[in-house]
Structure 1
Amino acid sequence: MEAAMNDIKIIMKETYSRLVTYKRKENRESFNKELLKVLPQIYRNVSKRLNSAVVNGKLNKGMFNPSDFTDQLFIEVYDNIDDIRSENELHVFLFKKVDELLEDSLVEEEFDHVFFDNIDTYSKPEWDAMEENYTQDGDGDFLLLEEMDDKSLDKSNYSLNHVFITEEEKKLADKLDASLDKERIYNHMQLVLDKMNLPMRTVFELFTNEGLTTEEIADIRKTTLVKVEELLSSARQLLKGSFEKRFLFESN
């Protein structure tokens, strides 16, 4: 995960420098080709948002495609690259713009209170049925961009270390790691994330999958640092509780 984040930063730095050069030369074709190198990461993020909306019944399949949102970035970045001062600012700018486009099109989802209120009562077969329905109904429907490479589709981005962060919690994470493979961890985390409301889920995914800081996420989401930290903490607590109820309590 850390290596992947470093790769993204290196690519973003190289791309930023070239974009500035191509804009100065007014070479729009080369500019767009260069920007395309960093769009798979953004496309993946949009895909997850759209998939969640479909799973939660907030969006009909076929209503949108991730390209409907990412294509606009070619215009936005070209028009604003002179005001973007570094690769870090470019990274944030891309997510900020696509977040604005998504917010204009998607209805903000509320908590699935039924799910979280009853999390203590679900049996193992009920958990398994929910996971099976999730993977059949929504996961991966939009991950179709031809330019995306295999790394962009890697489902191992989610890590238990993003949920179990204290030393005591890490002992629980070790127990889970010993009994669950990466695919099972991913499926469970995505299932629970899709039951959260949009702001909480978005903050967690930007922090976890995209390696953005809480300060950068606050900028993207146009909110306060305190609010971002509260949402991130709440997301972790809900995920931790779900893992404990489903996989740990019965084994203790």
Structure 2
Amino acid sequence: METVINDVRIIMKETYSKLVSFKRKGNRESFNSELLKVLPQIYRYVSKRLNSAVANGKLNKGMFNPNDFTDQLFIEVYDNIDDIKTENELHIFLFKKVDELLEDSLVEEEFDHVFFDNIDTYSKPEWDAMEENYTQDGDGDFLLLEELDDKSVDKSNYSLNQVFITEEEKQLADKLDESLNKERIYRHIQLVLDKMNMPMRTVFELYANEGLTTEEIAEIRKATLSQVEDLLSSARKLLKDSFEKRFLFQSN
């Protein structure tokens, strides 16, 4: 995951300077072709947001396509590139704009209190049934991007290290690593994330999947740093508790 994030940062730096140059020359076609190189990451982010909305019953399948949101970025970046001073600002700008477009179109989900209030009582068959239903209902519908065949569109970007961060917690992560493969870890994390409300889930995804700092997320989400840190901490706790209850302390 770290390699993918670093690759994106490098591509973003190269793309930014070329975008500035193409804009100055008025070369719109080359500008759009260059911007296309950094859109797989944004497309994946939009896909996950839409998948979550479908899985939660907040959006009908086929109602939106990721392209409905990413296509607008060609206009937004071209019109604003003169005010974007660095590649890091470009990176944040892309997420900020697409986030605004998503917020205008998606209804914010409520926190699924029933799920988390009963997390101690779920049996292994109940967990497995929830995971199966989630996979059938919403997982991965939008993850194929034929126009942008790039490894950054891979869905398995979550890891236990993003959830278990203290030394004591890492010992639990080691136990889980021995029994769970990456695909199983991904499915469980995505299942639990989709039971959170939109702000909490989005903050975790921007941090874990996109490699953005809490300061950058605060700018994207138009929130305070304290709000972002609280949401990230809450998301990690809910994920950690779910792993422990389902895979470590499950006796059913």
TM-score by length of 2: 0.98
What does residue 188 of structure 2 align with?
A: 188
What does residue 29 of structure 1 align with?
A: 29
How many residues were matched structurally?
Answer: 251
Question: Are 2:243 and 1:243 aligned?
Answer: yes
Question: Are 2:61 and 1:52 aligned?
Answer: no
What does residue 20 of structure 1 align with?
A: 20
- Cα distance in 2 for partners of 1:19, 1:72 equals 16
Question: Which ranges of structure 1 fall in alignment gaps of 5 or more residues?
Answer: none
Listed one character per residue, the Cα deviations across residues 66-125 of structure 1 (whole Å, up to 9, x for unaligned) are 100000000000000000011100000000000000000101111111101100000000
What does residue 65 of structure 2 align with?
A: 65
Task: Note if contact 1:155-1:183 (Cα within 8 Å) is conserved in structure 2.
Answer: no
Task: Note if contact 1:41-1:152 (Cα within 8 Å) is conserved in structure 2.
Answer: yes
Percent of aligned pairs sharing the same letter = 86
What does residue 160 of structure 2 align with?
A: 160
Task: Note if contact 1:163-1:236 (Cα within 8 Å) is conserved in structure 2.
Answer: yes
State the SS of the aligned residue for 2:37: coil
- Cα distance in 1 for partners of 2:150, 2:74 equals 23
Read off the aligned partner of 1:200 and give its amino acid letter.
M
Read off the aligned partner of 1:191 and give its amino acid letter.
L
State the SS of the aligned residue for 1:212: coil
Stretches of 4+ aligned residues off by more than 6 angstroms = none
Q: CA RMSD in A?
A: 0.9
- Cα distance in 2 for partners of 1:155, 1:30 equals 29
Read off the aligned partner of 1:189 and give its amino acid letter.
I
Read off the aligned partner of 1:80 and give its amino acid letter.
N
Listed one character per residue, the Cα deviations across residues 30-70 of structure 1 (whole Å, up to 9, x for unaligned) are 00000001111101000000010011010111111110000
Task: Note if contact 1:39-1:70 (Cα within 8 Å) is conserved in structure 2.
Answer: yes
Task: Note if contact 2:143-2:155 (Cα within 8 Å) is conserved in structure 1.
Answer: no
State the SS of the aligned residue for 1:184: helix
- Cα distance in 1 for partners of 2:189, 2:81 equals 36
What does residue 2 of structure 2 align with?
A: 2
Shift of 1:150: 4.8
Task: Note if contact 1:40-1:147 (Cα within 8 Å) is conserved in structure 2.
Answer: no
